[in-house]
Amino acid sequence: MPILGAFKAPKNDNHMVGPLQTIHAPMKRFREDEEVDYLIVGVGSAGGVLLQRLARAGFKVLGMEAGPFWDTERDWVSDESGSHKLYWTEPRVTGGTDPLALGANNSGQGVGGGSVHWAAFTPRLHPSDFEVYTRDGVGADWPIDYADLLPYYEQLELEMPVSGPAYYPWGYPHGYPYGPHPMGGVGNALIKGCTALGIPVSIGGPVAILAGSHGDRPHCIYRGFCIQGCKVGAKASTLVTHVPDALRSGAEIRDRCMVSRIELGKDGRACGVHYFDREGSENFQRAKAVIVAGYAIESPRLLLNSATKGHEHGLANSSGTVGKYLMAQAGNVVLGRFDQPVRMYKAPPAHALTEEFYETNPKNDFARGFAIQTVGPLPIAFGKQMVAARKAWGWGLRREMMDYNHWASFGLLGEILPWADNTVTLSDDQDRFGLRVAHVTFNLHDNDKKLIAAAKKKTEEVMWAAGATTVVQESRYAHLVGGCRMGSDPATSVVDKFGRTHDVANLFVMDGSVFPTQGSANPGLTIQALAARTADYLISQGDRVFTSDDRDHAEPKIRRGLAPPETWGKGVPRLK
């Protein structure tokens, strides 16, 4: 019998979401025949922010989440092998010339989604990212520019909040609202290597981890279990930042409910969703508007699985772009062995980076660029990297693993461009609900290969310059986005600049799938900032979204003061 009692299904009304933070809110429960205003599919990075904003504005909001509503004290462990249930491990098919590893360590499942297992690096996109096609003749332009997102970056950096340097020089130079973290061994290695080569480096962030206590969340204790969820509650996830406030504001989260299909009414507008509940029974929930926030793979999959008369190739797919232009960042890990112990587990993996090579450099034979970041794999992940990088096995692998404390690892984050042949389509295989699973196809193109080769070389140079005596690398990818891209032209994109599908006026997609390009910044902050902007738009539109097909593209008024209660100015803010 565990110390906290028997392992039972969570009671949604009384939840521990950290050792100190408890939700004591009797959760609102809507009847299925009651028409909610907004039904959000997926309560992850984007879904959590949308839920909070829309509930605060007084809408009836229901978040339908395929995974569980975590009770962090009971469900989570500070242990690498015990945390695999945080991932979406339902079947998916992968293929193409450069297949992506799916399953564990890819996308999240459960309230908080991918923000539960993210490392919480939170750099912003650069202004150039919004006009890649105009500047470089590759990729695509966004239908918005940096200035449109700037106020939302600033809001989310305060709400998570983000720790980082007072002056961050890359992109649109700015400072962070909370002071930076002290360095771990990997960070020291990155600083040493970059400094030796004259490369500027950012120390102690930007990362959405508390350097000091904040509201009812404690500060980081540097045990390094961030990707395992952070049982401490110091790392921001929408589970601990926005969801408690959403529930207090009257939202419902229906967890362990898998949405199978979006239904259209006779008027051609979305009228609700079909879903499998936690007992596996199929139900229908009515809604005045639907927002799909299911991640770069599951969002296109749901639209494709919702094909119906008049939308035979999938909902919102008149352009044929649903599932196309899927992107992943190159995420090669470069590992170096040092004579002195590094102990890379003794800090959050995310705490130092350089964006010095982010922008297109005319001297290169490729467009766009890359970042170099700290990565602190725990022993199991390290073991897998040693299998891949050194072909270590048996006793050889054991020897490498016993040497773990002497290794540091840096990750490159390289911009792979959006290509039409990188896709999510439907496989003939079915999941346990009888739904066709996603088939992901991924191919590297010439620009991507040249960029990865240059980024790998530079990251290895930095590792050598830091004093490593052996340097090896593992090829991998990180952070999937795209598949329902936003754009002004309905012939080449799925949603408009607010996430409204071009084809169905009360159906929205808002998550990482809407990115037209991805830069070399980790996507989570931008995903949450986009969600906050869409929430402002929906609130500014009022009931018109539910009744009218007219599209008002005026910029919404920015709503401020939305930080979860009791958090503003708490902790160690660097106030202007």
Ligand X SMILES: Cc1cc2nc3c(=O)[nH]c(=O)nc-3n(C[C@H](O)[C@H](O)[C@H](O)COP(=O)(O)OP(=O)(O)OC[C@H]3O[C@@H](n4cnc5c(N)ncnc54)[C@H](O)[C@@H]3O)c2cc1C
Residue 211 or 327: the one with the smaller Cβ distance to ligand SF4 is: 211
Dist. CA 77–CA 230, nearest whole Å? 9
Judged by beta carbon distances under 5 to 8 A according to partner kind, the member of ligand SF4, ligand X, none in contact with residue 324 is none
Dist. CA 324–CA 484, nearest whole Å? 7
The CB-of-48 to ligand X minimum distance in angstroms stands at 8
Give the total of residues touching ligand X (CB under 6 A). Answer: 42
Interface with ligand SF4 in residues 215-274 (CB under 6 A): 220-226, 230, 232, 234-235
Judged by beta carbon distances under 5 to 8 A according to partner kind, the member of ligand SF4, ligand X, none in contact with residue 221 is ligand SF4
Residue 18 or 516: the one with the smaller Cβ distance to ligand SF4 is: 18
The CB-of-67 to ligand X minimum distance in angstroms stands at 4
Q: What sign does the dihedral 112-118-121-126 (CA atoms) show?
A: negative
Phi, psi of 326 (to 5 degrees): -70, 140
Residue 368 or 406: the one with the smaller Cβ distance to ligand X is: 368
Give the x/- contact pattern for ligand X in 291-310, rule: CB under 6 A. Answer: --xxx--x---x--------
Residues forming a β-bridge with 410: 334, 374
Helices (H), 416-513: 446-465
Give the x/- contact pattern for ligand SF4 in 107-146, rule: CB under 6 A. Answer: ----------------------------------------
Residue 9 or 491: the one with the smaller Cβ distance to ligand X is: 9
Q: Nearest-CA neighbor of 105 among 95, 97, 94, 116?
A: 116
Residue 353 or 471: the one with the smaller Cβ distance to ligand X is: 353
Residue 522 or 541: the one with the smaller Cβ distance to ligand X is: 522
The CB-of-371 to ligand SF4 minimum distance in angstroms stands at 20
Hey, which bits of 10-137 come out as E strands? 15-16, 22-23, 36-41, 61-64, 93-95
- Concatenated DSSP letters for 537-574? HHHHHTTHHHH------PPPPPP---SPTT-TT-SSB-
The CB-of-575 to ligand X minimum distance in angstroms stands at 25
The CB-of-229 to ligand SF4 minimum distance in angstroms stands at 8
Question: 264: helix, coil or strand?
Answer: strand
Question: 310: helix, coil or strand?
Answer: coil
Helices (H), 160-296: 185-197, 243-248
Judged by beta carbon distances under 5 to 8 A according to partner kind, the member of ligand SF4, ligand X, none in contact with residue 45 is ligand X
* Contact call for residues 111 and 85 (beta carbons, < 8 A): no
Residue 232 or 297: the one with the smaller Cβ distance to ligand SF4 is: 232
Residue 234 or 538: the one with the smaller Cβ distance to ligand SF4 is: 234
Dist. CA 49–CA 112, nearest whole Å? 10
The CB-of-512 to ligand X minimum distance in angstroms stands at 3
Judged by beta carbon distances under 5 to 8 A according to partner kind, the member of ligand X, ligand SF4, none in contact with residue 223 is ligand SF4
Q: What DSSP state is assigned to residue 20?
A: S
Specify the DSSP element, H or E, that contains 273: strand 270-276
Query: What is the CB neighbour count within 10 angstroms for residue 212?
Result: 16
Question: 51: helix, coil or strand?
Answer: helix
The CB-of-216 to ligand SF4 minimum distance in angstroms stands at 15
Hey, which bits of 126-170 come out as E strands? none
Question: 36: helix, coil or strand?
Answer: strand
Judged by beta carbon distances under 5 to 8 A according to partner kind, the member of ligand SF4, ligand X, none in contact with residue 107 is ligand X
Q: Nearest-CA neighbor of 208 among 535, 526, 518, 557?
A: 526
Two tokens at 512? Answer: 């990482």
Residue 163 or 465: the one with the smaller Cβ distance to ligand X is: 163
Residue 139 or 348: the one with the smaller Cβ distance to ligand SF4 is: 348
Judged by beta carbon distances under 5 to 8 A according to partner kind, the member of ligand SF4, ligand X, none in contact with residue 425 is none
Q: What DSSP state is assigned to residue 77?
A: -
The CB-of-181 to ligand X minimum distance in angstroms stands at 14
Phi, psi of 472 (to 5 degrees): -135, 170
Query: What is the CB neighbour count within 10 angstroms for residue 11?
Result: 10
Does 205 bind ligand X (CB under 6 A)? Our answer is no
Give the total of residues touching ligand SF4 (CB under 6 A). Answer: 13
The CB-of-294 to ligand X minimum distance in angstroms stands at 3
Does 511 bind ligand X (CB under 6 A)? Our answer is yes
Binding segment toward ligand X, per CB under 6 A, in 1-9, 216-224, 403-411, 523-531? 523-531
- Which residue do the tokens 């079947």 mark? 91
Give the x/- contact pattern for ligand X in 208-237, rule: CB under 6 A. Answer: -------------------x----------
Query: What is the CB neighbour count within 10 angstroms for residue 576?
Result: 5
The CB-of-181 to ligand SF4 minimum distance in angstroms stands at 9
Q: 379-390 and 394-402 are packed helices; what angle lies between their axes, rounded to 10 degrees?
A: 130
Binding segment toward ligand X, per CB under 6 A, in 104-112, 214-222, 484-492, 499-507? 104-112
Residues forming a β-bridge with 273: 262, 285
* Contact call for residues 414 and 372 (beta carbons, < 8 A): no
Interface with ligand X in residues 477-496 (CB under 6 A): 479
Question: 266: helix, coil or strand?
Answer: coil
Among 39, 41, 289, 532, binds ligand X (CB under 6 A): 41
Does 527 bind ligand X (CB under 6 A)? Our answer is yes
Specify the DSSP element, H or E, that contains 289: strand 282-292
Residues that bind ligand SF4 (CB under 6 A): 209, 220-226, 230, 232, 234-235, 348
Residues that bind ligand X (CB under 6 A): 41-42, 44-47, 64-67, 88, 105-110, 113-115, 117-121, 227, 258-259, 293-295, 298, 302, 350, 479, 511-512, 522-525, 527
